[in-house]
Amino acid sequence: MNLSRKQVNDLVAIVTFSHSGENLVGGQLQQVEVGLTQQVALQLSAQLQADCYQIQPVEPYDIKFNATLLRADSERHLGARPEVNLVPHRLEATHRVIYLGYPNWFGTAPAPVLSWLSQQSLEGVSIYPFCTHEGGGLGRSVADLQRVSPGAIVLPGLPIRSSRVKQAQRAIAGWLWNTERRLKPNQLGTDNGLSKY
């Protein structure tokens, strides 16, 4: 069965957690209205022509960087899973590929991302992680995502330095070209996979 580009893109979703307000960019605090990871997600969405959903904690993080850092560190130490307002509850029922974005906080994905994953049944769903960072890359987040969602297929991710977010289009395009080569036709219900980006 051959699927149109729109039909293929309807099977792909972008899910992100992003922090607006004060962010560390190139070692300096900067105020951002749209979180850095969300900025990458919007670029990714434009290239994929896919829907973009946000993971939002029921209790929002402080816009101040240091307050957010303290809370994130506490959640990490406690293994906390803060309550989140769910993006479409049964995303896995309609999407076979998820691009999952987040900032690298203390070497891994933030607690709301792990909360969301733990509430999903992603058996057989391919997850491509992408993260913004200040030098830590993806850290141990890929292993943590796989641990929290053992039925999913967590594949190679894309780390983007915070200072390079606005110039990320080429890195995103190269990553997408590589991700499509890893997709098996049956993951999208098609015998010809995705066309090149």
CA distance 39 to 33: 10
Average pLDDT rounded to a whole number, residues 114-126: 91
**CATH 3.40.50.2000 describes domain 5-187:** no
- Percentage of the chain exceeding pLDDT 70: 83
Q: Where are the alpha helices (DSSP H) in the chain?
A: 5-9, 36-48, 65-78, 91-94, 111-118, 141-148, 169-182
Binning the chain into helix, strand and coil, the percentages to the nearest 5 are: 40, 25, 40
Q: What is the pLDDT of residue 35?
A: 96
- Determine how β-strand 84-85 pairs with β-strand 56-57: antiparallel
Q: What is the pTM of this model?
A: 0.88
pLDDT in tens, 51-85: 899 999 999 999 999 999 999 999 999 999 999 98
In this prediction, residue 88 has a pLDDT band, given cuts at 50, 70 and 90, of low
Neighbours of 68 (CB within 10 A): 20
